Amino acid sequence: GAVVSQHPSWVICKSGTSVKIECRSLDFQATTMFWYRQFPKQSLMLMATSNEGSKATYEQGVEKDKFLINHASLTLSTLTVTSAHPEDSSFYICSASGRLRAFFGQGTRLTVV
Amino acid sequence: DAKTTQPTSMDCAEGRAANLPCNHSTISGNEYVYWYRQIHSQGPQYIIHGLKNNETNEMASLIITEDRKSSTLILPHATLRDTAVYYCIVRPRSNDYKLSFGAGTTVTVRA
């Protein structure tokens, strides 16, 4: 079946630095990908819609200058958390629109210290 | 998108069938019912989806009521590895898989 891969699986960074998370669709092309964030004991919250070749669409309350999304190819979307702070520590998950369903990556655990 | 209501949690015995209910009373005619599950610290995993007919695959069965206002996901023989949070999601056909997750049902399978 279709596979979506995220990298890295986990990352620890210092406060004030930037972190890039990659989301790849390995065996299909995805014009649309989505980025979610999940805090402990909470559900997934949609952050933004990543569109290949155009600007991302952000959900209300999500700072587009802090969470930079680039979708430069049909198989890769990246999320960069800029000037990360401890409150950005979370589980970040991407999904790609495939045939008949959304396929999710395995998630990236970000810890900002 | 139509909202869904699920029980917060449920326990089931290993080897027995697990029946997970979902209420989606405001569902419209072009909206599908999708089920995903999330095992701890992993991304969601697709289980099954349907429009109005009952569906079955290698993982589960989906029973949708005739009025489409509710559905039940059936795991026929639950195993310990089925312990997860199960999400029932309603998605419009034209939505491009932008999924809205509720709180889901935390299912604990006990030996």
- In the predicted structure, residue B95 carries a pLDDT above the cut 70: no
pLDDT at B43: 96
CA A104 – CA B36 distance, rounded (Å): 10
Q: Which amino acid is at A67?
A: F
What is the per-residue pLDDT for A99?
79
Residue B2 has a pLDDT of 66
Half-sphere exposure of A12 (CA within 13 A, CB side): 1
Half-sphere exposure of B75 (CA within 13 A, CB side): 25
Residue of chain B nearest A45, judged by CA positions: B101
Tens-place pLDDT, residues A56-91: 999 999 999 999 999 989 999 999 999 999 999 999
The whole-chain average pLDDT of chain B stands at: 94
Question: Would you call B7 an interface residue with chain A, using a CB distance cutoff of 8 Å?
Answer: no
| Residue among B34, B87, B98 minimizing CB distance to A34 | B98
Give the closest-approach CA distance of B3 to chain A in angstroms.
14
Residue B59: how many other CB atoms lie within 10 Å: 15
Nearest of A46, A70, A45 to residue A56 by alpha carbon: A70
Structure-token match 């989906």, residue found: B62
pLDDT tens digits for range B43-90: 999 999 999 999 999 999 999 999 999 999 999 999 999 999 999 999
**Chain B, nearest residue to A32 by Cα:** B96
Tokens matching residue A11: 């990352």
Q: Are B88 and B2 spatial neighbours (Cβ–Cβ below 8 Å)?
A: no
- Are the C-beta atoms of B11 and B42 separated by less than 8 Å? no
Q: H-helix or E-strand containing A20?
A: strand A19-25
Furthest CA-CA distance within chain B: 42
Give yes or no for residue B96 having a pLDDT over 90.
no
Which chain A positions have a beta carbon within 8 Å of B57's beta carbon?
Answer: none
| pLDDT at res. B63 | 98
- Coil, strand or helix at A86: helix
What is the residue whose two structure tokens read 């401890």? Answer: A86
Task: Decide if B89 contacts B20 (C-beta within 8 A).
Answer: no
Helix (H, G, I), strand (E, B) or coil at A39: coil
pLDDT value of position B45: 96
